[in-house]
């Protein structure tokens, strides 16, 4: 019952006129930026973070929630109308959605994506509101060694377990961890890797890294490979509305997608790719018209879109209750919290219930706004897609540079942006995942702090790290997750030789 009281109070915060305005601006800006090709929710958040600098914490986080959900909606519009998913989680949407658009069913594809996202987002947010207090109650019992073990698990799953190559994923993670070392060590006051540059004392900004890797890196990569893959915008033809058959074929995939997306998103495993792929495969098996898959099956849009949005709400669970970001988007959200000196975790629920529950309530509000706003405004978003590519990317670069300058007006910050941009180009070219680096940068210093706290409590005895059953279990899972891909590869090889 407490949950409902808290949530009710959250709604009182979220429904204040000014807060509604913030949510509306957030939703609008989020969709506006998210709809631009090649821009996923993570980059949308990183680019728009400076806009929220001058607001109060609650208002800014509410705007942030709107930007987050808006960016997700915008991303699926792009995937359907031009085949350029801004993130791997909307790849599946692009697969079937773009086919639907090509065969003149772009309207229903957009509609099922939007309504499915609404259904999934709403259900998953209810799940978040309902389960978060339990996780908070559990998290209060966590000692520093348990947090450390949890972070190690997150490192492993984000970088090694679910990527194509554990070697490349771990490399990305460790470069992120190395960047996280830069700056003043909080516990001893000594500076690390700063080389006497005052701007580096505060460390590397998560937003600078994310904008550099995602925005500048993407622009360089797309420009450099423009001759290989030209893009075409698919006009929205025919009716926007879904037919009775479309509805009948959509509602079950929405629910199944939600059921897959939310729990998997809530695990410290990271990534919405897995639930979207799973959902696609399940829908393909269950569909009455499996022959349509690959040629624009509406189930193949409805399910994965729902899974994607539900898992986005799911990643908020470890973020809000444990302070643990498990995706690039969550890492940037965490940076948004930190800019106000807020540290998500069980304490935040106790100290600032207005803020936390206001944020959760505004997720509902943002969802409603999106479904009301987006379908009628789809014509406007489509026109945005028609901006010529040179101006589009030039504009993205302007916003990237401007955000960096507004956050920290120094040439050093722009230098880092350029260096990270070139790094992002190389990572795309040689197929290194980007999210582990962003997560490593923000989570590395937190893991170090917990480790050192644990060891100073135990008077330096490392056994303390595995004495707590929670920590021991988590570390064992982390080890298994690290070794599993290699074992499976070995197994494959074994099988291959057997055949």
113, 220, 322, 334: which one binds other proteins (CB under 8 A)? 220
Residues 6+ apart with CB under 8 A from 189: none
Report, in Å, the least distance between residue 435 CB and other proteins: 17
Strands (DSSP E) contained in 147-305 are: 183-184, 191-192
Say how far apart CA 219 and CA 425 lie, in whole Å. Answer: 8
386, 460, 498, 499: which one binds other proteins (CB under 8 A)? 460
The DSSP secondary-structure symbol of 431 reads T
Report, in Å, the least distance between residue 170 CB and other proteins: 6
Say how far apart CA 242 and CA 258 lie, in whole Å. Answer: 20
Report, in Å, the least distance between residue 268 CB and other proteins: 20
CA-based angle 248:253:255, to the nearest 5? 105
Say how far apart CA 353 and CA 10 lie, in whole Å. Answer: 8
Dihedral sign from CA coordinates of 376, 378, 383, 387:
positive
Considering the rule CB under 8 A, would residue 230 count as an interface residue with other proteins?
Answer: no
Q: Residues 372 to 431: which contact other proteins by CB under 8 A? A: 389-391, 393-395, 397-399, 401-402, 405-406, 409, 411-412, 414-415, 417-418, 421-422, 425, 429-430
Judged by beta carbon, residue 171 or residue 281, the one nearer other proteins is 171
Say how far apart CA 178 and CA 282 lie, in whole Å. Answer: 40
200, 342, 359, 475: which one binds other proteins (CB under 8 A)? 200
Considering the rule CB under 8 A, would residue 352 count as an interface residue with other proteins?
Answer: no
Say how far apart CA 45 and CA 66 lie, in whole Å. Answer: 10
Nearest Cα to Cα of residue 76 among 389, 365, 387, 302: 302
Judged by beta carbon, residue 195 or residue 494, the one nearer other proteins is 195
1, 2, 17, 188: which one binds other proteins (CB under 8 A)? 188
Say how far apart CA 144 and CA 450 lie, in whole Å. Answer: 5
Residue pair 76/30 in contact (Cβ under 8 Å)? The answer is no
2, 17, 227, 341: which one binds other proteins (CB under 8 A)? 227
The DSSP secondary-structure symbol of 430 reads T
Report, in Å, the least distance between residue 467 CB and other proteins: 15
Report, in Å, the least distance between residue 425 CB and other proteins: 7
Binding site for other proteins (CB under 8 A): 50-51, 53-54, 167, 170-171, 174-175, 177-178, 181, 185, 187-188, 190, 192-193, 195-200, 216, 219-228, 389-391, 393-395, 397-399, 401-402, 405-406, 409, 411-412, 414-415, 417-418, 421-422, 425, 429-430, 444, 448, 451-452, 454-456, 458-460
């Amino acid at each position: 019952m407490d949950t409902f009281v808290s949530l009710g109070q959250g709604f009182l915060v979220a429904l204040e006129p000014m807060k509604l305005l913030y949510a509306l601006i957030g939703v609008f800006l989020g969709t506006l930026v998210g709809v631009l090709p090649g821009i996923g929710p993570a980059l949308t958040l990183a680019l728009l973070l400076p806009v929220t600098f001058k607001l109060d914490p609650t208002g800014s986080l509410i705007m942030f929630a709107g930007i987050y959900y808006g960016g997700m909606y915008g991303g699926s519009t792009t995937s359907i109308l031009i085949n350029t998913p801004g993130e791997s989680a909307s790849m599946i949407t692009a697969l079937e959605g773009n086919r639907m658009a090509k065969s003149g069913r772009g309207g229903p594809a957009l509609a099922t994506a939007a309504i499915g996202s609404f259904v999934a987002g709403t259900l998953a947010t209810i799940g978040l509101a309902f389960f978060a207090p339990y996780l908070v109650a559990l998290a209060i019992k966590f000692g520093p060694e348990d947090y450390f073990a949890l972070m190690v698990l997150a490192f492993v799953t984000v970088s090694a377990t679910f990527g194509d190559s554990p070697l490349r994923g771990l490399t990305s993670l460790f470069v992120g961890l190395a960047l996280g070392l830069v700056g003043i060590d909080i516990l001893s006051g000594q500076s690390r890797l700063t080389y006497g540059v005052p701007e580096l004392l505060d460390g590397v900004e998560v937003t600078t890294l994310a904008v550099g890797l995602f925005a500048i890196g993407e622009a360089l990569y797309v420009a450099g490979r423009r001759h290989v893959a030209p893009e075409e915008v698919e006009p929205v033809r025919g009716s926007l509305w879904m037919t009775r058959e479309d509805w009948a074929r959509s509602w079950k995939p929405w629910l199944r997608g939600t059921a897959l997306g939310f729990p998997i998103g809530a695990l410290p495993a990271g990534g919405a790719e897995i639930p979207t792929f799973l959902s696609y495969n399940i829908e393909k098996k269950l569909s009455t018209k499996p022959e349509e898959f690959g040629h624009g099956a509406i189930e193949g849009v409805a399910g994965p879109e729902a899974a994607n949005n539900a898992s986005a709400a799911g990643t908020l669970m470890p973020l809000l209750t444990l302070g643990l970001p498990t995706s690039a988007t969550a890492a940037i959200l965490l940076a948004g919290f930190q800019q106000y000196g807020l540290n998500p975790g069980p304490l935040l629920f106790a100290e600032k219930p207005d803020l936390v529950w206001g944020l959760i309530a505004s997720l509902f509000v943002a969802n409603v706004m999106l479904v009301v706003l987006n379908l009628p405004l789809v014509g406007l978003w489509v026109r945005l897609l028609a901006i010529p590519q040179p101006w589009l990317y030039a504009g993205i670069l302007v916003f990237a540079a401007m955000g960096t300058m507004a956050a920290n007006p120094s040439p050093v910050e722009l230098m880092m942006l350029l260096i990270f941009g070139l790094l992002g180009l190389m990572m795309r070219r040689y197929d290194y995942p980007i999210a582990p680096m962003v997560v490593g940068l923000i989570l590395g210093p937190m893991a170090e702090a917990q480790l050192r706290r644990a060891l100073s409590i135990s008077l330096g005895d490392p056994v303390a790290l595995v004495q707590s059953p929670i920590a021991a279990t988590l570390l064992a899972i982390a080890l298994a997750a690290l070794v599993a891909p290699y074992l499976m590869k070995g197994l494959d090889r074994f099988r291959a030789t057997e055949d």
